[in-house]
Amino acid sequence: MVTKQFACKALDVPSDAARIVVLGKLSIGLFKLNDGYHALLNVCPHRGAALCEGPVCGTTRQTDKPEFVYERAGELVRCAWHGWEFDIRTGEFLVDPKIRTRRFEVSVEGDDIYIHV
């Protein structure tokens, strides 16, 4: 059963890093992106590091020319242990979307943010 739990005030979520909140036994990273708030389980599916405590970043993509481009700035979180990059909106590992961390629905009521766990 999913329950809506108060996470924090909107002003407590930085725009360049996750706000880590603990709800029961779950550590959750709450992110503010340009389309709203997103919440991911703060556990990396690779080896269990605190994924959401890694940097919010973009990624490099190879082009058909001998160069790389940096894109998606601010839409990814990079695990601090081995550098795997995850889409903050979906929780998916960029290299293999079948590997993902759990995501949670988020709702905003006034200045209060709730995570549905």
User: Applying CB under 6 A, which residues contact ligand FES?
Assistant: 44, 46-47, 49, 79, 81-82, 84
We find the least distance from the C-beta atom of residue 40 to ligand FES, in angstroms, to be 12
d(CA 85, CA 54): 10
Nearer to ligand FES, 61 or 82 (CB): 82
Buried residues in 29-43 as b, exposed as e (16+ CB within 10 A): bbbbeeeebbbbbbb
- Torsion angles phi and psi, residue 11, rounded to 5: -65, -15
Minimum distance from residue 94 beta carbon to ligand FES (Å): 12
Nearer to ligand FES, 47 or 61 (CB): 47
Please identify, using beta-carbon distances, which residue of 46 and 100 lies nearer to ligand FES: 46
Q: Token pair for residue 67?
A: 């160069």
Beta strands in the chain (DSSP E): 4-9, 19-23, 26-33, 36-41, 56-62, 68-78, 85-87, 103-109, 112-116
CB closer to ligand FES, 7 vs 43: 43
The minimum distance between CB 67 and ligand FES, in angstroms, equals 26
